[in-house]
Homo-oligomer: A and B are copies of this chain.
Amino acid sequence: MEIETITDNQKVKVARKLKNMFGHINLKDPTLICPIRDVMALASDKWSILIVLYLGYFPVLRFNELKKNVYGISNKVLSERLKHLEGDGYLKRTMYAEMPVRVEYKLTNFGHSYLQKLIELTEWAQTHKDCVISNRTKFHGSLENQELENQL
């Protein structure tokens, strides 16, 4: 479904940006792209994105509050992701010596700067989700037709 209206002008701009990014990558040794890969991989997996978004919506969240909001995440993965996100500087963990213990998570300023980019992506996903879903059903439909034809 090609309802998108992207001008060639925009495409040219994007191509220029990519040239800046890829231009100084030695295509004979593409491992050099790794730093970005690495940064992206840690914070752009599905759970980390949700954690950061919820910490944008609620300025402070405790472990179990996060678990309730980031629906479907397990203790194990939540605790892992939080450690990584803390380690990379996206969020800060504060422990209060109360009883029972209280632990609070909140975004750092660095985390907020990431959140801004993430929100733009999420907004895009929200406005385009119907397009994706209609594409998907159409594609699967056509796959089934093909299989039927192949059987004849």
Contact A87:B140 (CB < 8 A) given known A69-B27, A126-B36: yes
Asked if A122 is an interface residue, CB under 8 A from chain B, the answer is: yes
User: Could you say which residues of chain B place their CB within 8 Å of the CB of A118?
Assistant: 121
Contact A108:B21 (CB < 8 A) given known A40-B46, A44-B121: no
Q: A1 to B109, alpha carbons, bound, how many Å?
A: 9
User: Could you say which residues of chain B place their CB within 8 Å of the CB of A3?
Assistant: 110
Q: A46 to B122, alpha carbons, bound, how many Å?
A: 17
A interface size (C-beta, 8 A): 70
- Minimum CB–CB distance for A88 against chain B, Å: 5
Q: A120 to B27, alpha carbons, bound, how many Å?
A: 22
Contact A37:B33 (CB < 8 A) given known A124-B114, A136-B87: no
Judge whether B33 and A115 touch: CB under 8 Å: no
Contact A17:B132 (CB < 8 A) given known A71-B30, A140-B87: no
Judge whether A88 and B36 touch: CB under 8 Å: no
Judge whether A116 and B57 touch: CB under 8 Å: no
Which of B37, B56, B112, B135 is within 8 Å of A50, CB to CB?
A: B37
Instruction: List 6 other contacts, CB 8 Å, given A14-B56, A31-B71.
Output: A1-B89, A21-B119, A30-B71, A39-B128, A44-B121, A117-B124
